[in-house]
């Protein structure tokens, strides 16, 4: 089965990305903390989170959220999409039991001086409808059928 790979010509400002919704489980939170070697107890110890931090449950750490943003964006682009830059600000926590939902919109589409195509995407992450995190990402997209941003390096890669 062929995997779809978005090209720059298929993207324009205002395009909406399909939403991604995930029911956040303890496994989702704990495995993300373990993968990023974050041993702080508020990401795996419910008693610590509730009694010491005064929050309702364990919650997702920063690298775990970053990984979810990257997955969301590359699910949209396909395998040739390459994350160039990403920045985000967390306003609220994502807890076990929350329904995490991501929605994105393309803000800008451009080609750089080396001919690499980029889309700037704004992504909003909500947790049970609460605004939790906003992300802005710059993603490289192929400009044609034989272009692959993953092959770009040196002067041809200016994220």
pLDDT given at position 137 = 98
Segment 99-103 shows an average pLDDT of 98
Segment 13-41 shows an average pLDDT of 91
Segment 6-24 shows an average pLDDT of 97
pLDDT at 1 over 50: no
DSSP string, the chain: -PPP---GGG--TTPBPPPEEEE--HHHHHHHHHHTT---GGGT-HHIIIIIS--SS-B--HHHHHHHHHHHHHHHH-TT-EEEEEEEEE-S--BTT-EEEEEEEEEEEEE-TTS-EEEEEEEEEEETTEEEEEEEEEEEE-SSTT--GGG--GGG---
Instruction: Calculate the average pLDDT of the chain.
Output: 93
Task: Express each pLDDT in 33-63 by its tens digit.
Answer: 889 887 877 788 788 888 988 889 988 999 9
Q: Are 152 and 84 in contact (CB under 8 A)?
A: no
pTM of the model: 0.91
Residue with tokens 């790979």: 5
**pLDDT band, very low/low/confident/very high, at 11 (cuts 50, 70, 90):** very high
How many whole angstroms separate alpha carbon 32 and alpha carbon 60? Answer: 7
**C-alpha closest to that of 43 among 62, 29, 53:** 29
Segment 58-79 shows an average pLDDT of 95
């Amino acid at each position: 089965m062929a995997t779809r790979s978005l090209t720059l010509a298929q993207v324009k400002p205002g395009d909406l990305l399909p939403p991604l919704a995930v029911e956040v489980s303890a496994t989702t939170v704990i495995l993300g903390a373990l993968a990023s070697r974050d041993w702080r107890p508020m990401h795996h110890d419910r008693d610590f989170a509730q009694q010491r931090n005064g929050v309702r449950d364990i919650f997702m750490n920063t690298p775990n959220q970053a990984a979810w943003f990257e997955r969301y964006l590359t699910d949209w682009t396909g395998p040739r999409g390459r994350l160039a830059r990403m920045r985000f600000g967390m306003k609220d926590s994502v807890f076990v039991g929350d329904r995490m939902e991501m929605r994105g919109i393309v803000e800008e589409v451009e080609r750089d001086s080396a001919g690499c195509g980029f889309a700037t995407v704004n992504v909003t992450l909500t947790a049970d409808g609460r605004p939790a995190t906003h992300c802005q990402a710059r993603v490289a997209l192929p400009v044609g059928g034989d272009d692959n941003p993953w092959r770009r390096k040196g002067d041809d890669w200016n994220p």
